[in-house]
Structure 1
Amino acid sequence: MNADRRYVLVVEDEPSLGRLVADYLAAAGYETHWIADGLAVLPAVRERLPDLIVLDLMLPGQDGLSICRELRSFSDVPVLMLTARVEELDRLVGLEAGADDYVCKPFSPREVVARVKAILRRPWKRPAAAEAAPGLQIDATRYEARLDGELLDLTPLEFRLLQALAEQPGRVFSRDQLLDRLHDDQRALSDRAIDSHVKNLRRKLERARPGDDAIRSVYGVGYRFEL
């Protein structure tokens, strides 16, 4: 592993095409890793955040659009989407899901390399442990949050809830808006279930900083974060 090389994750279920794209990127100087199963993508990203993801739209296990939407709940890593769908609507859906660029099949591997180079020239700061509020650090790459140096024992859903609230302190979020930010969990939750998760999150924040109510209820609307 060369720390000086940019790391590109290639996600393509067709082995010959996946290997071809990975080989061309490697020849261009990038470190690459190829994945064929959609369900393996997010665990791989959380284990090691790439500099860019080349992501096929149609994948076994989990499709590219849902991967991209879930990815955007915790990372701004650039995504180049690959697809056989050429209709404008499908391209727009991919971009609205959080993709940075779009290449339609059939394509030249050289075009993919050129698009990757162009995207990586754009300014993008790798997410890391950042202070979201005084004393609160949120590390999206590790799914960890600390308050005053104390590690908060959060579930993945509680982590995403805290991240959504802390990104915009003072903003009032409705329960529906918070459900939209939780992406993969929203189908298993009702809007009132948010109340239970907020209660648990408040308790964990209170444990780390007694007497400080960081999540305020706004009657008839939802919640806002103040720390």
Structure 2
Amino acid sequence: MKHRILIVDDEPAISDNIQFVLESEGLETVRVATGLAATPILDEGTIDLIIIDIGLPDINGLDLLKEIRRTRSTPIILLTARTAEIDRVLGLEIGADDYIAKPFSPRELAARVKAVLRRCQRTTASKSTVEAFAVNTSKRAIAFFGTPLELSKYEYEILRRFIERKGHVFSREQLMNLVWEQPETSLDRTIDAHIKNIRAKLRAVRPDIEPIVTHRGSGYSLRDDL
């Protein structure tokens, strides 16, 4: 599976160069020009690394970094035109995994991206000795990496269906028919709200992993590598 990189930069020429070199290295990329546009993509749970320009038009890149770090440990590389040491140190202290100053070589950035991904893969592998999900059907309970989850009735049923068919994309209609006694009385956004709650509870245990994937226009699935 290709690593998916989110590029948050409002300068098309720079984004073009970054996208070209990363994709030539076999990586998949998604581009946005503002911090606001990055949020829904991160919520999909399919991003492996984020590249953030500090000088965004709608939010300071350092503030976006802080916002992301409140809920996620996705690797982040900062792009900065600032040369002051304090800016670089602040970015690393807030939670950036690396930084690179403009102007930069796209090839050097690609090398740093791959180095950060390798480092994070080693860290994740060392944490993955425990079974990701354990389901106790008699107690209607699910544990995530050994930590019991406090789930509502519907959250339990949705997550159990995901675990039973990892990688399968469930539409909202399918989930309502499987989980709700009277699916015709439920709305699509009811599923979305429950998925959001499940994600938050999983993230509280392992902020470095996004198990549930959003498939736009299709539905949701659980990653098949967990």
**TM-score, length-scaled by structure 1:** 0.58
| Corresponding residue of 1:81 | 78
Q: Is the 8 A contact 1:54 1:80 kept in 2?
A: yes
In 1, Cα distance between equivalents of 2:111 and 2:17: 15
Unaligned runs of 5+ in 2: 134-142, 159-190, 206-226
Task: Determine which structure has greater relative contact order: mean sequence separation of CA pairs < 8 Å that are 6+ residues apart, divided by chain length.
Answer: 2
Q: Is the 8 A contact 2:23 2:29 kept in 1?
A: yes
Residues 47-75 of structure 1: CA distance to partner in whole angstroms, max 9, x if unpaired? Answer: 24311111111101122111111111221
Structure showing the higher helix proportion among its residues? 2
User: Structure 1 residues 82, 47: CA separation in 2 closer, same or farther (over 3 Å shift)?
Assistant: same
C-alpha deviation, 1:135, in angstroms: 3.5
Alignment RMSD, CA only?
3.4
Q: Is the 8 A contact 2:144 2:202 kept in 1?
A: no
Structure 2 counterpart of 1:13, from 6, 10, 13: 10
In 2, Cα distance between equivalents of 1:150 and 1:66: 37
Percent identity between the two aligned chains: 40
Name whichever of 128-137 and 104-113 sits farther off. 128-137
Residues 119-138 of structure 1: CA distance to partner in whole angstroms, max 9, x if unpaired? Answer: 0111243998872775316x
| Corresponding residue of 1:38 | 35
C-alpha deviation, 1:42, in angstroms: 1.6
C-alpha deviation, 1:9, in angstroms: 0.9
Unaligned runs of 5+ in 1: 138-145, 168-227
| Corresponding residue of 1:70 | 67
Name whichever of 124-133 and 84-93 sits farther off. 124-133
Paired amino acid for 1:73: R
Structure 2 counterpart of 1:135, from 148, 173, 176: 148
In 1, Cα distance between equivalents of 2:82 and 2:37: 23
| Corresponding residue of 2:219 | none
User: Structure 1 residues 132, 48: CA separation in 2 closer, same or farther (over 3 Å shift)?
Assistant: closer
User: Structure 1 residues 134, 94: CA separation in 2 closer, same or farther (over 3 Å shift)?
Assistant: closer
C-alpha deviation, 1:112, in angstroms: 0.3
User: Structure 1 residues 150, 66: CA separation in 2 closer, same or farther (over 3 Å shift)?
Assistant: farther
Residues 97-153 of structure 1: CA distance to partner in whole angstroms, max 9, x if unpaired? Answer: 21100101111101100100110111243998872775316xxxxxxxx35726796
Residues 133-184 of structure 1: CA distance to partner in whole angstroms, max 9, x if unpaired? Answer: 75316xxxxxxxx357267968x89x86x789x65xxxxxxxxxxxxxxxxx
2:92 is the alignment partner of 1:95: yes
How many aligned positions are there?
155
Q: Is the 8 A contact 1:136 1:147 kept in 2?
A: no
User: Structure 1 residues 14, 150: CA separation in 2 closer, same or farther (over 3 Å shift)?
Assistant: same
Runs of 4+, deviation exceeding 3 Å: 124-130, 132-135, 150-154
